[in-house]
Amino acid sequence: MTIDTTAINQGMTHFDGFDAIWLFGYGSLIWKAGFPYLERRPAYIHGWVRRFWQGSHDHRGTPDAPGRVATLIRKPGAICHGMAYRITPETLGPLDVREKNGYLRLITELHFCNDRDGEQAEGLVYIATEDNAAFLGDAPYHRIAQQIAGAQGPSGPNRDYLLNLATALRELGVDDPHVFELERLLTPSESIKE
């Protein structure tokens, strides 16, 4: 099941009149921007953890066999690392379409990594909350890994999304036990792909 959130996101006016906006990416946006940007910097946000709990019916799966992609779940005290992009407002249109399957824009405070002054900026993040129609929620790790192993959509195999994300997080020096456990379950044997 899908819900097109494009119109809802395009109705947001918080950054109207700005020349540039910071966008925080925590899933495929870390390793596959696919849009023009003015600047790219490692960053993190407080109070969220990355989880493969969102269904993908339009990119990494199909309506009959949805894949699983990352969303953020609230967790007090947690830190989620990713990549921040400074973009022009025009870039939001294509991003709203890319993230249309249940993701909504949320205003967040970004903290930039490796910055001695502790620089912060207000920005946007796309989050698929549990009240969207494509939300799959928690499941045992082996079931999530099996679903990822078997799903494929217009953007390619779901497993590529997970493996590319794990690689990108390592390159950033980020330890994400959720992502790395799914990667471990997906890669030791080819039997899980069947």
Distance of CA 68 to the CA centre of its chain: 11
Whether 99 is catalytic? yes
CA distances from 22 to 36, 85, 127, 153 (A): 13, 6, 15, 29
| Residues sharing a CB contact under 8 Å with residue 17, sequence separation 6 or more, in sequence order | none
Cα–Cα distance, 26 to 194 (Å, whole number): 28
DSSP state string for 104-138: EEEEEEEEETT-TT--EEEEEEEE--TTSTTB---
**Type of residue found at 136:** L
* Token pair listed for 8: 């809802």
Among residues 90, 99, 109, 181, the one annotated as catalytic is 99
Active site residues: 99
